[in-house]
Amino acid sequence: MNRFVAAVTVSILAASGAVAQGVTEDMLANDQTMTNQVVTNGMGRHLQRYSPLETLNKENIKNLVPAWAFSLGGEKQRGQETQPLVYDGIMYITGSYSRLYAVDVNTGEELWQYDARLPEGILPCCDVINRGAALAGDKVIFGTLDARIVALDAKTGDVVWRDKIDDYKAGYSYTAAPLVVGDLVITGNSGGEFGIVGSVQARNIDTGELVWNRPVIEGHMGMLNGEESTMTGTLNATWPGDMWKTGGGATWLGGSYDSDTDTLVFGTGNPAPWNSHLRGAGEPTDGNTGDNLYAASRIGIDPATGEIKWHYQTTPREGWDYDGVNEVVAYNDRDGNMRYATADRNGFFYVLNREDGAFVDAHPFVKDISWASDIGDDGRPVFIEDNRPGDPTASADGKKGDVVFSSPGFLGGKNWMPMAFSQRTGNFYVPSNEWGMDIWNEPITYKKGAAYLGSGFTIKPNYEDHIGSLKAIDPDTGEWVWEYKNDAPLWGGVMTTAGGLVFFGTPEGKFMALDDETGEELWSFQTGSGIVGQPITWEQNGEQYVSVISGWGGAVPLWGGEVAKKVNYLNQGGTLWTFRLPKELAAAN
Ligand code: CA
């Protein structure tokens, strides 16, 4: 069927007299069903990470064997969080320290490598990672730690254009996979711990020219075609004084695209600084509600203009570093309703309406949420105010507010690592962590390029026997269908297949396939270093392939407090693994 789709595409192009120019919008739109290639982050711009391939299934998964492995080389191996892309015989991956590799997909041999020359003084908050590239036409595009975006010739690795997203000296960086829609490449930004201002930007794919810019914090002015467009939100409606000017809301995980509603959906990080008492509501007469829009939110954006169509704030007046960046996955529920699902750092799994982003439902996806008792019917959390970290100005010496224990900890019930949806079961497969933190607030003032938190913290495990927890969640009810517990915190992506398999990796180095209905372990392979990457699958020469990168790192070893000590035996690395199900073993039981 996939070859049929590809053949139809080619014949349409031939009939119209056009010359096929690499990766087309049609390929990006149909990435999920064109199973002979993977040309988008998320295996489809809805980010379902579901493959309709069933050649590899529960019966023959035991016959999946390594085909080749590729080392990223270099002396500093750490934090390999990329998702590979596969197109026209080449696999593209990004590596730590803003590197990009093109590898022969048949042999695993390197074709070329691009190393961004990073300046001294870059300020990546959470390791020197990169989460993947984007393909468009004859280009492969990725972002770098000095907050730049680079378009390379996909065949040669030569630079076609390069542009600055923002000023790395002010704390901006870039780590997410860019998103391509039509003739635009769309990016967010990183730096929420430095008082930057989150924004979403769209550039022309051919030239790199900025088409529009949409800051995501109220009061900032947008840009369209070189001119001011509209202000984001209403000045001082939800922010006191000048705090919005350095208000955070980094859009650091990138976004998804819902083609049914023609909407870009981006999440926004924590409001800055972390100390929420500096961002609270004023006197009732001054109008500011203290919600701090549009930080810790999901926002729907019109790709043509960069205008905000809708927003939904998961954590109003956020005070725990519960970034609202988590991926928003478009799907249809069992009744055929058009829905979004997103599992927030704050521990709740949300279902939203795709028409207007309106709240539908929310349920916990971790065990011990302390900051809110529930999400109300209006979509606002029911706060447990005693569990908000205290105001330092209310303390005896004015220097340290009351310490509270908060769960999830600031690394989140779920952090960046993407969940997957299965069209086969109708369930989501959510990589989560059961941990909390001691947290307190301190005074802070903004200084360019310096950490802007006003908080101190220590992450702690909630349970002796596991931190990591992969859960199968029924989005219609919020019910946990099954749970797979893991000793170390999970930090890598998940993938589902029509063959009934759920793929993911662990920091202990195991790449695994579970039964999508029961959570039973069906297959595993030790990759030699912790897995924090994102698996893919595709088909070539009549055989099904699976790839994942291995290489421990990311935020946990740097920020994980007591958890970092618990897992400090884990070794770093950088190896891309590719597995195949040999044709002769596909039917074997
Ligand atoms: Ca943050």
pLDDT band (50, 70, 90) for residue 4: very low
Cis peptide, bond prior to residue 582, ω within 30 of zero: no
Q: Give distance in angstroms: CA of 391 to centre of ligand 1.
A: 19
Q: How far apart are CA 446 and CA 249, in angstroms?
A: 15
Terminal-to-terminal C-alpha distance of the chain: 25
The whole-angstrom distance between residue 211's C-alpha and the CA centroid of its chain comes to 24
Give the pLDDT confidence score for residue 16 in this predicted structure. Answer: 47
Segment 554-566, tens digit of pLDDT: 999 999 999 999 9
- Catalytic site positions: 321
Segment 180-219, tens digit of pLDDT: 999 999 999 999 999 999 999 999 999 999 999 999 999 9
Segment 314-323, tens digit of pLDDT: 999 999 999 9
Segment 47-93, tens digit of pLDDT: 999 999 999 999 999 999 999 999 999 888 899 999 999 999 999 99
Give the pLDDT confidence score for residue 74 in this predicted structure. Answer: 85
Q: Give distance in angstroms: CA of 415 to centre of ligand 1.
A: 10
Q: Give distance in angstroms: CA of 362 to centre of ligand 1.
A: 22
- Average pLDDT on 333-361 reads 98
Q: How far apart are CA 39 and CA 29, in angstroms?
A: 10
Segment 79-88, tens digit of pLDDT: 999 999 999 9
Give the pLDDT confidence score for residue 286 in this predicted structure. Answer: 82
Q: Give distance in angstroms: CA of 309 to centre of ligand 1.
A: 24
Q: How far apart are CA 46 and CA 327, in angstroms?
A: 9
CB 454 within 8 A of CB 444: yes
Among residues of the chain, what percentage have pLDDT more than 90?
93
- According to DSSP, the β-strands at 50-51 and 495-497 are parallel
Query: Would the pLDDT of 173 be above 50?
Result: yes
Q: What is the DSSP string of 256-303?
A: EEETTTTEEEEEB--BSSS-GGGG----GGG---S--TTTTEEEEE-T
Give the pLDDT confidence score for residue 2 in this predicted structure. Answer: 45
pLDDT band (50, 70, 90) for residue 345: very high
Q: Give distance in angstroms: CA of 196 to centre of ligand 1.
A: 11
Give the pLDDT confidence score for residue 281 in this predicted structure. Answer: 86
Q: Give distance in angstroms: CA of 157 to centre of ligand 1.
A: 33
CB 274 within 8 A of CB 197: no
CB 539 within 8 A of CB 1: no
Q: Give distance in angstroms: CA of 125 to centre of ligand 1.
A: 9
Q: Give distance in angstroms: CA of 295 to centre of ligand 1.
A: 10
Q: Phi then psi for 118, rounded to 5 degrees?
A: -90, 135
Give the pLDDT confidence score for residue 588 in this predicted structure. Answer: 62
Give the pLDDT confidence score for residue 589 in this predicted structure. Answer: 55
Q: Give distance in angstroms: CA of 441 to centre of ligand 1.
A: 15
The rounded mean pLDDT for the chain is: 95
CB atoms within 10 A of CB 24: 16
Q: Give distance in angstroms: CA of 192 to centre of ligand 1.
A: 5
DSSP code for 196: -
Length of the chain equals: 589
CB 493 within 8 A of CB 482: no
CB 516 within 8 A of CB 424: yes
Whose structure tokens read 């739109």? 29
Q: Give distance in angstroms: CA of 457 to centre of ligand 1.
A: 13
513-519-522-525 Cα dihedral, nearest 10 degrees: 40
Whose structure tokens read 């915190």? 489
For the chain, domains (ranges, CATH) are 25-585 (2.140.10.10)
- Average pLDDT on 332-340 reads 97
Those residues with Cβ within 8 angstroms of residue 102's Cβ, 6 or more apart along the chain or in another chain? 90, 91, 92, 110, 111, 112, 113, 140, 154, 157
Query: Would the pLDDT of 342 be above 60?
Result: yes
Q: Closest by alpha carbon to 100, among 156, 157, 163?
A: 157
- Average pLDDT on 351-368 reads 98
Count H helices and E strands in the chain, helices first.
4, 40
Q: How far apart are CA 198 and CA 187, in angstroms?
A: 11
CB atoms within 10 A of CB 542: 8
Those residues with Cβ within 8 angstroms of residue 377's Cβ, 6 or more apart along the chain or in another chain? none
Would you state the structure tokens that stand for residue 373, as one six-digit string? 């008792």
Q: What is the pTM of this model?
A: 0.95
Q: How far apart are CA 255 and CA 267, in angstroms?
A: 7
- Average pLDDT on 9-21 reads 49
CB 60 within 8 A of CB 585: yes
